Amino acid sequence: MSYMDKSIEEIHEALKKGLVTSDELVKESLEKSHFVQDKCNAFVTILDDAKGTEVTDSLLSGIPYGVKDNYSTKGVLSTGSSNTLKDYVPFFSATAIDNLSKAGAVMVNKTVLDEFGMGGTGTTGHTGIVTNPWDHTRMCAGSSAGSAAAVAAGVYPYATGSDTGDSIRKPAAYCGIVGYKPTYGMISRYGLFPFASSLDHCGVLTRSVRDAAIVTDAMKGIDKNDMTSWDSKDVHLLDALDGKVSSKKLCYIKEICDIKNYPNASDELKAHLDNFMKTIDICKKLGMEVDEVSVDETLLKASPATYVVISCAEATSNMSNLTGFIFGPRASGDKWDEEMKNYRTKGFSPLIKRRFVIGSYVLQAQNKDRYFHNAQRVRRLLVDEWKKLFEKYDAVILPVGSGPAKKLEGSKDALDKNTAILEDHLQIGNFGGFPSITIPNGFIDGLPVGVNITGNCYEDEKILNIAYALEGAMDFKGQVCKEVR
């Protein structure tokens, strides 16, 4: 009997009835971890000596899960998938991980990401490329690549992720699972390696909306160590899922969804947008009103550049503490500055260093207003535009990416001008700190694709409920890919 491809509530019930023990679940999850490691290279560390925990009324008690390797985990290697921290073992755990431990959850592995979360392919971690369990010639997207691969392959029902531009929500789509980042600050970021602090969100990858609600209910909470965290004790995500959505109003954006905007559209892109429009019909059948709306195209197209400027600037500042003296392996050199230079030059991959060059450039005194401050102004305009939509609509619904997972070979971590806005609109959810969830939206040529629902800050209950109703009207809930079935 396999339990790790079931939902959290099903596993909890089996534990309660004594059909299985927590130790047996851990054993199953570890065996699957090794199997998926051979196939997908999804893990930095597999905790072979993990032990089951006592089963209580907490839904997560005794159940295994995975942790993205940019979360600090006490006494357990935490690398951020970077050579600069390849031997770093923190002496404390991230608050979100402590909260999961308090709920009785059992961490069984640490998952691979793009180095420090800076990437969208799952190919830039220091332990190598993560392959997509649905098709190993394709990427998982990133940066939460290992978490997405493992949840999709049935290693466990959930793993943690982090999302600065789309890093939970895009890998979820490419792997056919659910990816949710709650409103900014709902889950404490304390102990999450910072990438771009004003955009960073903790979140989860699961195989159902209910599971996403259960895990987030356990991870969230105000934290004195994260001054951007807020008190969400009145938010009960699981309890809010009643599937009643008939009075809800959604919109999708013409400039992003209309095939006419893509003159050289591939068959794949056409199928993807067609598929999305069918989902819009399902929303209407559920009784929701769905409108097509227009947003200034110039503003939309400014989003990727805005993201690059802000995220690189913040990353450059955040990562200046990686000197090789406090964390990470000591580099060689006769003097301290030589040591630091060697550590950073050899430790960071070229992709990351390119981002630091951009970040330093836009922060230079003579450039700051032209680039950094202007990017902040555009961020504000984009957030205001979305807020305007939320005055009239409960949520914005949009396709994720320009199709299914891309081929590993020949793909670059660079923007394709034609489809950039389709690929990058999720970052607007980070600009505004909006709650945003991706759910599976079927298959194109046998490969999963996703649909995203984003709402106004603090309206997580409503957003999850819309996603829950839509998930219930489609056939992809709880899907586990062929890998370990």
Residues that bind ligand GLN (CB under 6 A): 117-120, 143, 163-167, 195, 311
The distance of closest approach from Cβ of residue 121 to ligand GLN in the complex, given in angstroms and rounded to an integer, is 8
Q: Is 294 a catalytic residue?
A: no
Candidates 395, 435, 387; CA nearest to 183 is 435
Instruction: For residue 277, give Cα distances in angstroms to 36, 45, 68, 81, 270.
Output: 34, 41, 33, 38, 11
The distance of closest approach from Cβ of residue 360 to ligand GLN in the complex, given in angstroms and rounded to an integer, is 17
Nearer to ligand GLN, 66 or 165 (CB): 165
Nearer to ligand GLN, 62 or 117 (CB): 117
Nearer to ligand GLN, 3 or 371 (CB): 371
Element (H, E) at 449: strand 447-455
The distance of closest approach from Cβ of residue 308 to ligand GLN in the complex, given in angstroms and rounded to an integer, is 8
Nearer to ligand GLN, 119 or 157 (CB): 119
Q: Would you say 330 and 184 are in contact if contact means Cβ atoms under 8 Å apart?
A: no
Measure the CA–CA gap between 476 and 456, rounded to whole angstroms: 26
Measure the CA–CA gap between 13 and 209, rounded to whole angstroms: 18
Chain mean position to CA 307: 16
278-283: Cβ within 8 A, 24+ apart: 279/397, 279/441, 279/451, 279/470, 279/474, 280/252, 280/397, 282/470, 282/473, 282/474, 283/250, 283/397, 283/470
Pairing state between β 178-181 and 289-293: unpaired
What beta strand segments (E) does 257-350 contain? 289-293
* Residues found in the chain: 485
What beta strand segments (E) does 392-435 contain? 395-399
The distance of closest approach from Cβ of residue 258 to ligand GLN in the complex, given in angstroms and rounded to an integer, is 24
Nearer to ligand GLN, 166 or 211 (CB): 166
Please name every residue paired with 179 in a beta bridge, in sequence order, or none if there are none: 205, 438
Measure the CA–CA gap between 382 and 385, rounded to whole angstroms: 5
The distance of closest approach from Cβ of residue 414 to ligand GLN in the complex, given in angstroms and rounded to an integer, is 11
Candidates 42, 226, 48, 66; CA nearest to 143 is 42
The distance of closest approach from Cβ of residue 158 to ligand GLN in the complex, given in angstroms and rounded to an integer, is 18
The distance of closest approach from Cβ of residue 189 to ligand GLN in the complex, given in angstroms and rounded to an integer, is 13
Q: Is 68 a catalytic residue?
A: yes
Nearer to ligand GLN, 7 or 147 (CB): 147
Q: Which of 7, 33, 167, 436 is catalytic?
A: 167
- For tokens 């490691």, what's the residue? 37
The distance of closest approach from Cβ of residue 78 to ligand GLN in the complex, given in angstroms and rounded to an integer, is 16
3-state secondary structure of 42: coil
Q: Which of 143, 162, 208, 311 is catalytic?
A: 143
Nearer to ligand GLN, 117 or 154 (CB): 117
Q: Is 167 a catalytic residue?
A: yes
Amino acid identity of residue 272, one-letter, is H
Nearer to ligand GLN, 135 or 166 (CB): 166
Candidates 102, 118, 3, 98; CA nearest to 54 is 102
Candidates 426, 449, 469; CA nearest to 288 is 469
Nearer to ligand GLN, 118 or 480 (CB): 118
Candidates 213, 211, 281, 290; CA nearest to 250 is 290
Candidates 247, 190, 178; CA nearest to 219 is 190
The distance of closest approach from Cβ of residue 423 to ligand GLN in the complex, given in angstroms and rounded to an integer, is 9
Active site residues: 68, 143, 167
